[in-house]
Structure formats: structure tokens, C-alpha cells
């Protein structure tokens, strides 16, 4: 591929491909979520281990997101995108062929790892493909719409194929679409000029020698290991008891690794994966905390609600269709909230959003049967997703806006890492522990009242997280302190060229 700037046709084609890749990555979360009860029956998961189908994806995605972004800076975003798509297709094939519990979880973990490569690379290509600021804004609008569409249609597609064919087809469909996209991406790769920041000759020569330092390999591996052991300890403790030796050892090891990670990042790493400047500003600290909480509420509540609706007797497809208003609300939030940010202010929006989350989930707590969908579940979903969507938007804008142009990519990557780790650990893992513990103490799965009390306890946990978010929002700076009047632009780095 020759050096130079991409033509308009190549830029538009690049945008279409990366948006569809983003759609598939987001849709995969919803497709797998809606198929969980069916997969549980076919492969024999117990209630404690079932969450790992979702958590394994989120942990590897969130844990390696920063590393994936840095690999794009070093080797070229287009190269990492192709590599990530190839890995995603291999992992998706393994998911479809999986015939045991461990195999599916491992394959899902590699899917998440692949997404950690494709998402930063794809988003960088969107930013680099369009020089005109207005066109770039529209391009990112298309990017956001692709993610929202994946959120809306993922559960519906998953429910449709799970109900009419089999759960394996949610992965076969992903493989077919992603495979076609990779062929199209390879066509662009070899025939067009794809955008990439210019690297000096010394950078190109030294990228392999400096790779361990720039990737902070030890920091990345220690952090991911700590998170995996933490979630495993929480899950195992809920099943086997908290005083068993393996649970105590696992949680203690996770805590030690977390301490080691902090030490590495502060004292040892020359280029830490979690930069210190993320903690030098109140907006970034509060924004990252809000990110972890908002994804915890979203993923945890969605996980519980999916299982609860199907326990009421709804089929996977019927359950997915009942989630449609939730996705439509999320899309509407992306249109409305940007108009309210300046006149209302970021702090006021956050305060109102966390209140919406709490009120919405309180309505979910009151559900007794499937007959309560229209009266309680539907308004509850609309309220809590409106709150979650607003917190996500405000946090993303304010966190990224506080960094100068040279740091926006790194800050955005850290923010997304907090999102996904919060969803995997605080959301799915912790709320599952709460739900299963209460169900067991109230009489077990054989008692419908115990099951209902378990779900209610899980929702109470999400309400507690919303309350913490509300408290943190009180300390959030005003709009003048946290949102600049004009967004900071990246400084030019030269003509985009193909990385060597």
C-alpha cells in the first residue's frame, strides 16, 4: 500500500467497515446475554459459573484495551485492525464449535481480547480518515450509532437465532459477517492509502526493542491476572463457601497482585499502562469512578433482568423484544443529552441521571411475574437506561475534554477500561454473588419466592451503586470547570502514511 492520504472513497469505505466491526463487537454482548439460559441447559452450567460467558469477554476486553491502543500506535492501526479481526474470527469459530463449559468460556475470552485490538484501532482510523472537523464529528456520530444499533439489535438477533435454530448460530452469524468485513478490509489495505500517523525512521527501527516498555507488559499481565482471580474468587466463594481454603487463597492472591500492580505503575514502569496523570485531576478521577459504576449498573441489571424475564416463562426471542425499548432509549439519549450539556451543566445532569437509575431499578424490584412487564419493567428499563446513558455520555465528554490533544487517546482508553472492568467485576460478578447468596439463604432455586428475593437483592445492589454514583456527582465540578467551550483538537502529526 502506497504512502499518502486516503481518498474520499477510501475514507468512506473505511468508516463503513469499522462501524460494522463495532456493531458486531457490541451486538455479540447482547446476543450471548439473551442465549444464556439456553446455553446453560445445553452445556450444563450452574448458576454461579454461567456469568463467565459474559465476564470472560469483558475482562480480557477491558484488561487489554490500553495495550491494544498502544499496539496501534506502534505498528499501525490498520495492521492491528486486521490482526484483531483475524483473531476475532478464529475465536468466534471456537465459540460455535464449543461443546463444553470451559471451551466456550476460553473462546469468549479470546473474543474479548480480539475486541481490545479492533476497537481502539477502528476508532483511531475514524479520527484519522477525516481532516475536516465537521465531517469528523459526523463520522463519530455514525460510529456511535453503530454501537447503539448493536446494543438494540444484538439481543433480538440472538433471541431469533436461539429460538428458531440453535444458540451456536449467534456465533456462526458473527463469523460470516466479520469474515466478509475482513475480506473488504484486506481489499482496502492492499489497494488504498489508509490513514496512520507518521512515525520517524528511528521510531520504526526501535519499535521492537522498545515494545516491552511501551506496552508495560508486566503491568498489563498483573492487572488482568488480579481481576480474573478476583472474579473467580467471588464466584467460587458464592458456591463453595467463603471460608474454604481455595476461596481464601484466591482472593488473597488477587489482593496481593493488585498491590503489586499499583507498585509497578507508581514506582517501576517507565511507561505505565495506567498513567499517573489520570489521578492528578478531579474530573478524571470522578469520571473514571462514574464509568465503572455506570457499566456495573447497566451490565449487572441487564444480566439479572434477562434471567428473570426468562424465568417468568418468556422465550429468548420474546425476552429480546422486551429489551427493544431499552435500546431505543439509549439511542434517544445520544441525541438529546448533547443539547442539554451546556444549559443544564454536567453536575446537574449526573445528579439527575443517578436518580433516574435508582428510581428505574426500584421499579424492577417490585416485579412479581411476567404480567408486571408493562406496569413496572418497561418504565423501569426506560428510566435506568436513560440514567446510565447520560452518565456515560457526560463522563466520556468531560474526561476526554480535560486532556490535551496528545493525551486524548490514552485518556479515552483508560476510561473505556474502567467501563468494562466495572461491568465485569462490580456488575455481573458482584450482583450475581448477591443474588445467588440470598436465593440460597431463602430456600434455594426450588422456591419461587426465594428466586424472586434473590433477584430483588441483586437489584438492591445496583441501587446502592447508583447511590454511590449520586454521592460522587455532588463533588463533580461545574460545567465551566469540566467542559471547555471548545473541544481540544489533536495537534497535527504530519501526513498519514502506512506503517512499516
**pLDDT digits 0-9 by tens, 263-316:** 988 888 887 877 777 777 788 889 889 989 998 998 899 889 988 998 898 887
The whole-angstrom separation of Cα 431 and Cα 457 is 8
Question: What pLDDT sits at residue 481?
Answer: 46
How do residues 215-236 score in pLDDT, each as one tens digit?
A: 678 888 888 888 788 877 876 7
Q: pLDDT above 70 covers what percent of the chain?
A: 84
Per-residue pLDDT band at 210 (split at 50, 70, 90): low
Closest CA to 170 of 300, 42, 58, 307: 42
Residue 187 has pLDDT above 90, yes or no: no
How do residues 41-79 score in pLDDT, each as one tens digit?
A: 888 888 777 878 887 887 788 778 877 877 877 787 888
* Residue 7: count of CB within 10 angstroms of its CB: 11
How do residues 420-449 score in pLDDT, each as one tens digit?
A: 778 877 888 889 889 988 998 888 888 888
DSSP state of 312: T
Q: List, in sequence order, the alpha helices (H) in 422-447.
A: 430-441
| Mean predicted confidence (pLDDT) in 386-415 | 70
* Residue 490: count of CB within 10 angstroms of its CB: 14
DSSP state of 46: -
Provide CB contacts within 8 A for 60, sequence distance 6+: 109, 110, 112, 113, 116, 224
| Mean predicted confidence (pLDDT) in 361-367 | 95
Provide CB contacts within 8 A for 27, sequence distance 6+: 150, 151, 153, 154, 157, 174
Q: How many helices and strands in the chain, by DSSP H and E?
A: 21, 0
How do residues 110-161 score in pLDDT, each as one tens digit?
A: 999 999 889 888 877 877 777 776 676 667 667 767 777 787 788 888 888 8
Residue 248 has pLDDT above 80, yes or no: yes
Amino acid at each position: 500500500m502506497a504512502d499518502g492520504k486516503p481518498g474520499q472513497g477510501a475514507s468512506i469505505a473505511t468508516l463503513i467497515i469499522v462501524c460494522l466491526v463495532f456493531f458486531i463487537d457490541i451486538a455479540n454482548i447482547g446476543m450471548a446475554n439473551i442465549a444464556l439460559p439456553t446455553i446453560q441447559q445445553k452445556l450444563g452450567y450452574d448458576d454461579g459459573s454461567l456469568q463467565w460467558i459474559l465476564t470472560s469477554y469483558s475482562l480480557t476486553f477491558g484488561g487489554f484495551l490500553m495495550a491494544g491502543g498502544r499496539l496501534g500506535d506502534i505498528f499501525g492501526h490498520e495492521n492491528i485492525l486486521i490482526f484483531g479481526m483475524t483473531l476475532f474470527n478464529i475465536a468466534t469459530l471456537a465459540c460455535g464449535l464449543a461443546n463444553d463449559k470451559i471451551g466456550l468460556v476460553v473462546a469468549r475470552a479470546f473474543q474479548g481480547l480480539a475486541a481490545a485490538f479492533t476497537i481502539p484501532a477502528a476508532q483511531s482510523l475514524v479520527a484519522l480518515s477525516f481532516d475536516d472537523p465537521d465531517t469528523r464529528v459526523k463520522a463519530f456520530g455514525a460510529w456511535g450509532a453503530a454501537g447503539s444499533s448493536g446494543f438494540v439489535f444484538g439481543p433480538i438477533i440472538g433471541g431469533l437465532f436461539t429460538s428458531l435454530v440453535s444458540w451456536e448460530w449467534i456465533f456462526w452469524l458473527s463469523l460470516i459477517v466479520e469474515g466478509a468485513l475482513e475480506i473488504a478490509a484486506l481489499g482496502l489495505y492492499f489497494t488504498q492509502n489508509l490513514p496512520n500517523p507518521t512515525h520517524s525512521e528511528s521510531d520504526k527501527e526501535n519499535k521492537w526493542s522498545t515494545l516491552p516498555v511501551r506496552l508495560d507488559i508486566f503491568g498489563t499481565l498483573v492487572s488482568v491476572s488480579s481481576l480474573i482471580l478476583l472474579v473467580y474468587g467471588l464466584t467460587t466463594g458464592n458456591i463453595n463457601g467463603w471460608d474454604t481454603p481455595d476461596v481464601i487463597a484466591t482472593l488473597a492472591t488477587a489482593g496481593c497482585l493488585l498491590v503489586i500492580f499499583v507498585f509497578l505503575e507508581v514506582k517501576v514502569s517507565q511507561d505505565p499502562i495506567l498513567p499517573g496523570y489520570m489521578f492528578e485531576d478531579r474530573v478524571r478521577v470522578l469520571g473514571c469512578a462514574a464509568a465503572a459504576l455506570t457499566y456495573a449498573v447497566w451490565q449487572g441489571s441487564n444480566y439479572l433482568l434477562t434471567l428473570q424475564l426468562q424465568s417468568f416463562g418468556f422465550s429468548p426471542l420474546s425476552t429480546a423484544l422486551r429489551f427493544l425499548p431499552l435500546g431505543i432509549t439509549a439511542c434517544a439519549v445520544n441525541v438529546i443529552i448533547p443539547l442539554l450539556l451546556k444549559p443544564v451543566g454536567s453536575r446537574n445532569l449526573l445528579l439527575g441521571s443517578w436518580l433516574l437509575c435508582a428510581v428505574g431499578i426500584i421499579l424492577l424490584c417490585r416485579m412479581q411475574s411476567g404480567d408486571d412487564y408493562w406496569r413496572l419493567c418497561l418504565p423501569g428499563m426506560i428510566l435506568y437506561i436513560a440514567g446510565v446513558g447520560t452518565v456515560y455520555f457526560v463522563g466520556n465528554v468531560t474526561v476526554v475534554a480535560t486532556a490535551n490533544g496528545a493525551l486524548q487517546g490514552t485518556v479515552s482508553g483508560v476510561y473505556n477500561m474502567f467501563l468494562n472492568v466495572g461491568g465485569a467485576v462490580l456488575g455481573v460478578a458482584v450482583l450475581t454473588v448477591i443474588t445467588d447468596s440470598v436465593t440460597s439463604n431463602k430456600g434455594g432455586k426450588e422456591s419461587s419466592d426465594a428466586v424472586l428475593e434473590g433477584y430483588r437483592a441483586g437489584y438492591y445492589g445496583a441501587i446502592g451503586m447508583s447511590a454511590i454514583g449520586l454521592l460522587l456527582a455532588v463533588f463533580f465540578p461545574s460545567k465551566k470547570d469540566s467542559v471547555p467551550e471548545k473541544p481540544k483538537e489533536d495537534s497535527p502529526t504530519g501526513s498519514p502514511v502506512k506503517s512499516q
